[in-house]
């Protein structure tokens, strides 16, 4: 709320400066604003003013602002520039941000931009565009410096002086052997405090934690978080150093993956997580419908199955209409307790708390929790049913069904994701809608079987 107000204030001030063509003041004002904020302001400005504002920015800052833009505004701004301006700005941009932007542009625009780059950069960018977006290769940058292990510290520092300003991070420098294989890591601090004649390999740390270029970004995030790394080197299957991933990209991955998990859990495709950026109404609705409908159709047929099962107990329903009254309560409570167990198991599997070897323990634990809450709830409901209906038998049946159903639900909710994981299926498929529909079916079966046996006998 407060942030929003500060932002609006800045926006108004900048618009006023553009309108009154106070170029010097505008320039001065902008150097005090964070590039990300300038990018946000740029997006909000009307057509003609965007270009005016951008032209005022110094080169370095302009490139940083481009890094932060969404692909629409990016290509809009770019198309208003001369070839020379474009080329210069693209050279200054951060490579991994550029790859992300290019990935979202049309084939044609992408080629146009790549053609403007230096041959080396163009090759790098083309290579990076090949990797899947959610792998180490897809989020790494090749814009880093590495040192040969057989050079002296003096030469290493000289080399860094010349080459580092472009690179994303130089707090840690990775060391390679003559074949380009990752051999170690050295911190800027170690370089500075060591004797200039020492060889890099003598002071480097050989225990460097790295990831493979094809590793899933979730795995990469796990390693980086575990060891609190500022950056992690990426190697190919031959152990050659191919790129690095920095902590800021990892923070984005953690957030992205969490959102995806939450969305999957609610029974919608993870693609919907990206839709919030989509501002147009109809494409947004259409994509959401596409993302959610598959889950709903599956659960719809689950519901039809419930209906089929229920139709078998028509006699019971006709003899005791009161049995139907408690049906939503029974299925609802089963769904709730099952959702709790399945969510904890899915998240536990994702975070590595639930391990394959310990799955029996987890199942037994969740079953016990289900039994405790099931028995407490069944006593409450038994009392309610008895006093309301004045029928002790009905109260007992509802209570017993509730307890059995809740224990079953907790067990199924835990087993399904574990089994999915074992067979290589994403455990998150055991989402809330899926689990509660499955539990509706077991719940109804349990309830009506017990009712028919106990009430009609």
Report the DSSP pairing between strands 211-212 and 182-187.
unpaired
Q: Give whichever of 376 and 453 is closer to a copy of itself, judged by the CB atom.
A: 376
Residue 235 β-bridge partners: 212, 241
64 binds a copy of itself (CB under 8 A): no
- The least CB distance from residue 324 to a copy of itself, in Å, is 5
Alpha carbon distance 176, 238 (integer Å) = 13
- The least CB distance from residue 333 to a copy of itself, in Å, is 6
318 binds a copy of itself (CB under 8 A): yes
For residue 167, the SS3 value is coil
Alpha carbon distance 363, 76 (integer Å) = 55
Which residue, 172, 181, 171, 187, is CA-closest to 150? 181
95 binds a copy of itself (CB under 8 A): no
Rg of the chain on CA atoms, in Å: 30
From the list 11-19, 50-58, 266-274, 416-424, the region that binds a copy of itself by CB under 8 A is 266-274
Structure tokens at 423: 């067979």
**Residues 173, 250, 397, 407: which binds a copy of itself (CB under 8 A)?**
250
Cα angle, residue 382 at apex, residues 379 and 385 outer, rounded to 5°: 150
**Residues 16, 23, 36, 456: which binds a copy of itself (CB under 8 A)?**
36
Q: Give whichever of 117 and 428 is closer to a copy of itself, judged by the CB atom.
A: 428
DSSP, res 418: H
Interface with a copy of itself in residues 163-192 (CB under 8 A): 170-171, 188-189
Q: Give whichever of 113 and 428 is closer to a copy of itself, judged by the CB atom.
A: 428
Which residue, 421, 275, 279, is CA-closest to 348? 421
**Cα within 13 Å of Cα(14), Cβ side:** 30
38 binds a copy of itself (CB under 8 A): no
455 binds a copy of itself (CB under 8 A): no
Q: Give whichever of 125 and 381 is closer to a copy of itself, judged by the CB atom.
A: 381
104 binds a copy of itself (CB under 8 A): no
203 binds a copy of itself (CB under 8 A): no
Alpha carbon distance 334, 161 (integer Å) = 65
Alpha carbon distance 177, 370 (integer Å) = 57
209 binds a copy of itself (CB under 8 A): yes
Interface with a copy of itself in residues 277-316 (CB under 8 A): 281, 284-285, 288-289, 292-293, 295-297, 299-300, 302-304, 306-308, 310-311, 314
Interface with a copy of itself in residues 352-381 (CB under 8 A): 353-356, 361, 365, 368-369, 372-373, 376-377, 380-381
Q: Give whichever of 32 and 47 is closer to a copy of itself, judged by the CB atom.
A: 32
Q: Give whichever of 66 and 117 is closer to a copy of itself, judged by the CB atom.
A: 66
* Host H or E run for residue 161: helix 153-163
Residue 255, burial from CB neighbour count under 10 angstroms (0-12, 13-18, 19+): exposed
Interface with a copy of itself in residues 124-143 (CB under 8 A): none
Structure tokens at 326: 């408690």
């Amino acid at each position: 709320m407060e942030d929003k107000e500060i932002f609006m204030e800045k926006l108004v001030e900048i618009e006023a400066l553009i309108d009154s063509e106070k170029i010097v003041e505008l320039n001065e004002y902008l150097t005090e604003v964070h590039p990300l904020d300038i990018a946000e302001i740029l997006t909000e400005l009307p057509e003609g003013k965007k270009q005016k504002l951008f032209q005022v920015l110094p080169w370095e800052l302009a490139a940083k602002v481009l890094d932060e833009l969404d692909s629409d505004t990016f290509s809009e701004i770019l198309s208003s520039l001369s070839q020379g301006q474009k080329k210069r700005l693209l050279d200054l941009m951060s490579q991994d941000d550029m790859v992300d932007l290019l990935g979202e542009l049309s084939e044609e625009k992408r080629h146009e931009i790549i053609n403007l780059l230096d041959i080396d950069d163009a090759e790098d960018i083309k290579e990076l565009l090949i990797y899947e977006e959610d792998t180490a290769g897809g989020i790494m940058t090749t814009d880093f410096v590495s040192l040969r292990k057989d050079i002296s510290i003096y030469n290493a520092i000289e080399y860094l002086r010349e080459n580092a300003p472009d690179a994303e991070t130089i707090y840690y420098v990775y060391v390679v052997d003559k074949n380009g294989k990752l051999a170690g890591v050295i911190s800027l601090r170690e370089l500075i405090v060591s004797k200039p004649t020492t060889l890099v390999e003598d002071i480097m740390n050989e225990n460097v934690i790295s990831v493979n270029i094809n590793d899933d970004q979730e795995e990469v995030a796990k390693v980086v978080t575990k060891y609190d790394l500022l950056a992690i080197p990426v190697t190919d299957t031959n152990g050659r150093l191919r790129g690095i991933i920095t902590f800021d990209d990892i923070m984005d991955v953690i957030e992205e993956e969490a959102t995806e998990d939450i969305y999957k859990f609610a029974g919608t495709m993870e693609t919907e997580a990206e839709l919030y950026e989509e501002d147009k109404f109809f494409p947004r609705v259409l994509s959401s419908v596409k993302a959610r409908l598959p889950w709903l159709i599956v659960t719809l047929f689950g519901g039809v199955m419930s209906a089929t099962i229920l139709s078998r107990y028509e006699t019971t329903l006709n003899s005791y209409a009161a049995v139907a009254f408690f049906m939503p309560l029974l299925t609802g409570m089963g769904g709730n307790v099952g959702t709790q167990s399945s969510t904890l198991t899915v998240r536990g599997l994702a975070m590595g708390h639930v391990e394959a070897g310990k799955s029996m323990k987890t199942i037994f634990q969740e079953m016990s929790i289900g039994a405790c809450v099931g028995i407490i709830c069944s006593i409450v409901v038994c009392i309610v049913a008895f006093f309301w209906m004045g029928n002790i038998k009905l109260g007992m049946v509802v209570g017993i069904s509730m307890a059995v159903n809740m224990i079953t639900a907790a067990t199924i909710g835990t087993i399904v994701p574990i089994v999915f994981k074992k067979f290589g299926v994403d455990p998150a498929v055991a989402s809330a809608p899926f689990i509660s529909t499955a539990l509706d079916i077991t719940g109804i079966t349990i309830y009506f079987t017990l009712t028919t046996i106990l009430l009609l006998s």
